[in-house]
Amino acid sequence: MSLAFAARIEGDTIRCTITADRPLDAPVFCFSLMAPAACRSGGTLTASLGGYAEVTLPDLAAGTPHDVVLAYDNPGFRPVNRAWLPLGAYLRTAGGCLPLPALPGGRHPGPRPDAPLPALRLAPPPDAWHPAPGTAAAPAFACGAEPFAAVAALADRNGMEPFLAPRGLPVRLADDPAMAPEAYALTIAPDGITATAATRAGHFHAAITLLTLRETHGAHLPCGTITDSPRFGWRGQHLDCARHFFAVPTILRVLDLMALMKLNRFHWHFADDEAFRLHVTCAPEIWQKTETRGEGQLLPGLFGGGIRTGGSYSQIDVQEILSRARDLNIEVLPEIEVPAHALALNRAVRGLRDPTDTGDERSVQGYAQNIVNPALPATWALLEPLATEVAGLFPLNMLHLGCDELPPGAWEGSPAVAALKRREGLADHHDVQGWTIARLAGHIARQGIRPAAWEEAAQGAQGGIGHDALLFSWTGQGPGIAAARRGHQVVMCPAQHLYFDMAHSADPEDWGAAWAAFLPLEETVNWRVVPEGAEDIAPRIAGVQGCFWAEFTTEDRQIEPMLAPRILGLACKAWERAEATDGPRLRSLAAAYAPLFGRIGWQMA
């Protein structure tokens, strides 16, 4: 059978056209949008869960196009670009399920070819650069040190020319215990290079700088002296592997890209409403039942899941990712999601919701019953062993507990939570969440594991999470400032600047979300990590992090033009002490890096 499928935005609606080459009796059009759908014409909406929908169509005649007009159910949502069209679409028929052809992807703005190249083509820019006359020919380097071998392996697996060669430009390593832990210095001369650092991390960064300069300066390094050290100890990139299952080789490629940007924390988001993807032994049903979604699965084809898609990560996969991260000077932060974003947990495990709960709370994604109930023994019988086991797999000794986007009205219909409120002196759902996350944080803190969470974990009359937790400020900088003034360490990851799932522009042919902002390259650096008037919080800003959420991702490679070149801006904000890189300078750096991205096969448009 041959099927044709097209979709286009028409104002506030989406017109879908389906054509079959043979008759079909009352097929069901199954698809997902970024939020709950409504059907304006052409069929009847017969089932939905969040953005997943099923529309029963009339009989289709062979060769006759049939139009279905959709809209977003929430009048505040309107389709913005191609990512807002139906994803993972298929027809359910009496004879089985038939995939509809995938819609064309979005068009991303690439680097401007007319941007001037900077004198030193290095991102993030170093603390100091003192040029000297001449250049050093360096098609390869000669150095036997382990950090340089790790960079040589990175270059080799990404298709670059060999980084090390016996007859390459000599590199002498020097140790200076007085230098900061990740700092380095490079003296580049025509007859050789001296790389000075106090630690393996510093020498690794020096090697990354040399690899980068070789690529961006055409194997002729500018002579001079670089002295450099990072502003922040936490320089992170987050990846949502719950909405879309990214294969392990793709995660390894992301780690390589992070290393080229001198980022050092990978925030691994493998659990959310749509799946729990990590193999755990304390509750194997949570990944066994949710690792795939689609037709006939515990959860339908949410966020482009289609007929069937997904996967999960074994503990062998974890060790492979940790091994690569260790070679690249990167630590891995795992995240579980509580008390909200727990639809998958609730579907997979009995007893996490009060059976007498009459509440009708609904998450921003349109899910009912996506929160666990902290007043029930079954909740803690799952969460405490789960937190212990997940944290124990990762040497960072830190666990991100989630704690974001609690639905309004959460637990208001639960008699069990009403009793908990009376017993613990809790007034509202924010207090209940604060009590819940503080209890779970206390559980892992007693085992020497530092808790982390999104900004909402600081809410509640009793002070929220506590336990020296690290908080991530994502809706903007305001919550991060407030949390820092209450004594928390904070990672700034404001969606308006560092959410790389946001569309680059308002062009309807672009791709991505838009709830926070359109995010061109310039906006990744056109902000201050410590805002003017909030200088008092500077000692409590642990760092900066980019985030990528995968609600509209159906193929691994779709992430590439979303990260590149915008990850250059993240690198500059995370490393650069002076915050001197502005939009025009970043455009210049992006032009310089375009050949490097091309050589490693990383799409930019």
What pLDDT is attached to residue 105?
85
Residues 95 and 179 occupy one common structural domain: no
Which residue type occupies 318?
A: V
Q: How far apart are CA 455 and CA 486, in angstroms?
A: 12
Instruction: Report the C-alpha dihedral over residues 256, 259, 261, 263, rounded to 10 degrees.
Output: 120
The pLDDT of 479-501, averaged and rounded, is 97
Q: How far apart are CA 304 and CA 52, in angstroms?
A: 8
Helix (H, G, I), strand (E, B) or coil at 195: strand
CATH of the domain at 459: 3.20.20.80
What pLDDT is attached to residue 1?
86
What pLDDT is attached to residue 599?
96
What pLDDT is attached to residue 116?
87
119 within domain boundaries? no
Residues 306 and 346 occupy one common structural domain: yes
Helix (H, G, I), strand (E, B) or coil at 557: helix
Residues 72 and 25 occupy one common structural domain: yes
Q: Taking all residues of the chain, what is their mean pLDDT, rounded to a whole number?
A: 96
460 within domain boundaries? yes
What pLDDT is attached to residue 76?
85
Q: How far is C-alpha 243 from the chain's CA centre? A: 10
- For residue range 168-200, what is the model confidence (pLDDT) as tens digits? 999 999 999 999 999 999 999 999 999 999 999
470-473 and 450-454 strand pairing: parallel
Boundary (domain end) residue, out of 59, 79, 99: 99
For 377, counting Cβ atoms within 10 Å of its Cβ (0-12 exposed, 13-18 middle, 19+ buried), the class is: exposed
- Residue 533's contacts (CB-CB under 8 Å, 6 or more residues apart) are none
Boundary (domain end) residue, out of 58, 81, 99: 99
Residues 208 and 259 occupy one common structural domain: no
275 within domain boundaries? yes
- For residue range 3-12, what is the model confidence (pLDDT) as tens digits? 999 999 999 9
Residues 240 and 221 occupy one common structural domain: no
What pLDDT is attached to residue 196?
98
- For residue range 68-85, what is the model confidence (pLDDT) as tens digits? 999 999 988 899 999 999
605 within domain boundaries? no
Residue 110 has pLDDT above 80, yes or no: no
- Model confidence at 461, in pLDDT bands (50, 70, 90)? confident
Residue 108 has pLDDT above 90, yes or no: no
Helix (H, G, I), strand (E, B) or coil at 528: coil
Q: How far apart are CA 324 and CA 106, in angstroms?
A: 31
Boundary (domain end) residue, out of 198, 228, 258: 228
HSE at residue 59, side-chain half, CA atoms within 13 A, is 5
For residue 495, give the nearest of 506, 503, 487, 507 by alpha carbon. Answer: 503
Residues 300 and 170 occupy one common structural domain: no
Residue 593 has pLDDT above 80, yes or no: yes
The range of the structural domain enclosing residue 87 comes to 3-99
234-240 and 541-546 strand pairing: parallel
Total domains in the chain come to 3
CATH of the domain at 189: 3.30.379.10
Residue 208 has pLDDT above 90, yes or no: yes
555 within domain boundaries? yes
Residues 146 and 274 occupy one common structural domain: no
The pLDDT of 302-311, averaged and rounded, is 97
265-269 and 3-10 strand pairing: unpaired
For 69, counting Cβ atoms within 10 Å of its Cβ (0-12 exposed, 13-18 middle, 19+ buried), the class is: middle
What pLDDT is attached to residue 605?
81
Residues 238 and 223 occupy one common structural domain: no
Residues 370 and 397 occupy one common structural domain: yes
Assess contact for 46 and 15: CB atoms under 8 A: no
583 within domain boundaries? yes
For residue 364, give the nearest of 113, 67, 96, 77 by alpha carbon. Answer: 77
- Model confidence at 221, in pLDDT bands (50, 70, 90)? very high
Q: How far apart are CA 557 and CA 76, in angstroms?
A: 30
- Model confidence at 409, in pLDDT bands (50, 70, 90)? very high
- For residue range 333-356, what is the model confidence (pLDDT) as tens digits? 999 999 999 999 999 999 999 999
112 within domain boundaries? no
Token pair of 486 as six digits: 């209450």
Residues 377 and 329 occupy one common structural domain: yes
Residues 217 and 238 occupy one common structural domain: no
For residue 268, give the nearest of 457, 451, 404, 402 by alpha carbon. Answer: 402
The pLDDT of 57-61, averaged and rounded, is 97
Residue 114 has pLDDT above 80, yes or no: no
- For residue range 246-266, what is the model confidence (pLDDT) as tens digits? 999 999 999 999 999 999 999
Residues 135 and 17 occupy one common structural domain: no
What residue has token string 């780690």? 255
105 within domain boundaries? no
